[in-house]
Amino acid sequence: DKGNHRHFMAKEIHEQPEVVGRTLGHYLDMSSGHVALPFELPVDPATLSRLTICGCGTAYFSALMAKYWFERFARLPVDVEIASEFRYRDPPLDPSGLTIVVSQSGETADTLAALRCAKGKGQKILAIVNVASSTMSREADVVAPTLAGPEIGVASTKAFTCQLAVFAALALAFGRARGVLGAKEEARLIGELMAVPGLMAQALKCESAIEGLAREIGKVRDVLYLGRGAAYPLALEGALKLKEISYIHAEGYAAGELKHGPIALIDGDMPVIVIAPKDAVLEKTISNMQEVAARGGRLILIGDENLARDFAGEAEASIIMPEFPADFAGMVYAIPIQLIAYHTAVVMGKDADQPRNLAKSVTVE
Ligand code: F6R
């Protein structure tokens, strides 16, 4: 049932404040300000020397964002691996370590093989999955569910942000266990997490601005997405989402890589979408935005009102996000990223729910 939406994808984008709130509520004790994992971890995070995370596609990008959180809040080195690369590499793994696999379906062949590969080397397995009855759920030592509900649209949206919610809670739990986060810091970060569903609801209000933007993006051949820090995985996700459902060629880049090659592509045709939450690296992202503008590029920015005001002269369009502490901005900024892909596909007359050549669950290699 699509409710009053044209596509499941639209419905699922709009469900995110609710399902992310539900998922956060499963892992956080809102009243005490502590993480309250609903299971026992299969390893003591205090004894871990590193963490491996495997996934494919959008799930891989959620893991890439999680790396920033585990490193920052738990000072834990993290290897994020594309499951299809990991499984064939005979990766050296510590037998007392932990591997996290992340998958909406819990059936993706490469991720399942990565799970078995890590398990075979003695690693404990934590599976972040959306389908509770899946093969990965059965084979993992511990299951951390995303409570996104069934995701029907082939392009993953609400499963992605729910994966981020689980990762955020895990990163805080690991930070506490490793003595990196004090109780006060934990409570402050939990306060920020609890605000995320409301901020996502606010972010959804940018939809009509994005519909206008999508009419422009629907005319182009290529789009570049830039982000720094935790916004970098979102740049990759934005590009994947657009390719997948609109068939426009798109690439995501770490903003700092701009001058190492892609800057040669900047011209008056290709939109450059910059994801710029107000975080510790915003100043650096701003200099990349200036580089794009100085070369006559089509700058489209996703940021707060202050940033939009500063770039009113240079930006072709600004998608305005609420202002908030940026520790978990990725969950909120995912909304405009998804809406841009969705509305571009719709204006181009593509079927956003059933993109060509793609299946919801990739159970063969
Ligand atoms: C992108 C997308 C795919 C999946 C990937 C992994 O929108 O849907 O990239 O994310 O195939 O699928 P799961 O999460 O089921 O393992």
Backbone angles phi, psi at 237, to 5 degrees: -65, -40
Does the beta carbon of 57 sit less than 6 angstroms from any atom of ligand 1? yes
Report the pLDDT value the prediction gives residue 300, as an integer from 0 to 100.
98
Q: At what angle do helices 158-177 and 183-203 cross, to 10 degrees?
A: 170
Does the beta carbon of 327 sit less than 6 angstroms from any atom of ligand 1? no
Does the beta carbon of 244 sit less than 6 angstroms from any atom of ligand 1? yes
Q: At what angle do helices 231-246 and 57-74 cross, to 10 degrees?
A: 170
- Nearest partner of 136 among 121, 115, 151, judged by Cα: 115
Tokens at 361, concatenated: 């669950």
DSSP 57-123: HHHHHHHHHHHHHHHHHH---EEEEEHHHHTTS-----TT-EEEEEESSS--HHHHHHHHHHHHTT-
Residue-wise pLDDT for 161-173, tens only, equals 999 999 999 999 9
Residue-wise pLDDT for 201-246, tens only, equals 999 999 999 999 999 999 999 999 999 999 999 999 999 999 999 9
Average pLDDT, the chain: 97
| Paired residues of 98 in beta bridges | 51, 124
Kind of pairing between the strands at 28-29 and 142-145: unpaired
Ligand 1 center to residue 144 CA distance, Å?
17
Rounded to whole angstroms, the Cα distance separating 112 from 105 reads 11
Give the confidence band of 82 by pLDDT, cuts at 50, 70, 90: very high
The burial class, CB within 10 Å (0-12 / 13-18 / 19+), for 183 is exposed
Does an H or E element contain 237, and which? helix 231-246
Residue 338, pLDDT > 90, answer yes
Give the number of other Cβ atoms within 10 Å of residue 206's Cβ.
20
Report the pLDDT value the prediction gives residue 363, as an integer from 0 to 100.
86
Residue 321, pLDDT > 90, answer yes
Ligand 1 center to residue 102 CA distance, Å?
10
Is 241 labeled as catalytic in the residue annotation? no
Longest distance between any two alpha carbons in the chain, whole Å: 57
pLDDT above 70 covers a percentage of the chain that reads 100
Does the beta carbon of 115 sit less than 6 angstroms from any atom of ligand 1? no
How far is Cα of residue 165 from the mean position of the Cα atoms in its chain?
10
Residue 149, pLDDT > 90, answer yes
Does the beta carbon of 355 sit less than 6 angstroms from any atom of ligand 1? no
Report the pLDDT value the prediction gives residue 359, as an integer from 0 to 100.
85
How far is Cα of residue 159 from the mean position of the Cα atoms in its chain?
9
How far is Cα of residue 59 from the mean position of the Cα atoms in its chain?
8
Residue 360, pLDDT > 90, answer no
Interface ipTM:
0.99
Site to probe by mutation for ligand 1, drawn from 7, 9, 54, 58 as the one with most ligand atoms within 8 Å of Cβ, is 58
Ligand 1 center to residue 201 CA distance, Å?
24
If you average pLDDT over residues 309-318, what whole number do you get?
97
Does the beta carbon of 155 sit less than 6 angstroms from any atom of ligand 1? yes
Ligand 1 center to residue 258 CA distance, Å?
27
If you average pLDDT over residues 312-326, what whole number do you get?
97
Ligand 1 center to residue 166 CA distance, Å?
17
Residue-wise pLDDT for 256-300, tens only, equals 999 999 999 999 999 999 999 999 999 999 999 999 999 999 999
Give the confidence band of 30 by pLDDT, cuts at 50, 70, 90: confident
Does an H or E element contain 301, and which? strand 298-304
Residue 84, pLDDT > 90, answer yes
Residue 296 Rama label (left phi>0; alpha psi -120 to 50; beta) = left
Which of 19-28, 123-132, 353-362 shows the lowest per-residue confidence on average (mean pLDDT)?
A: 353-362
189 touches 327 (CB < 8 A): yes
Does the beta carbon of 137 sit less than 6 angstroms from any atom of ligand 1? no
Residue-wise pLDDT for 89-119, tens only, equals 999 999 999 999 999 999 999 999 999 999 9
Site to probe by mutation for ligand 1, drawn from 64, 110, 156 as the one with most ligand atoms within 8 Å of Cβ, is 156
If you average pLDDT over residues 118-124, what whole number do you get?
97
Does the beta carbon of 361 sit less than 6 angstroms from any atom of ligand 1? yes
- Nearest partner of 315 among 250, 283, 284, 271, judged by Cα: 271
| Stronger pLDDT, 139 or 363, i.e. the higher one | 139
Ligand 1 center to residue 106 CA distance, Å?
10
Residue 356, pLDDT > 90, answer no
Report the pLDDT value the prediction gives residue 365, as an integer from 0 to 100.
83
Residue 362, pLDDT > 90, answer no
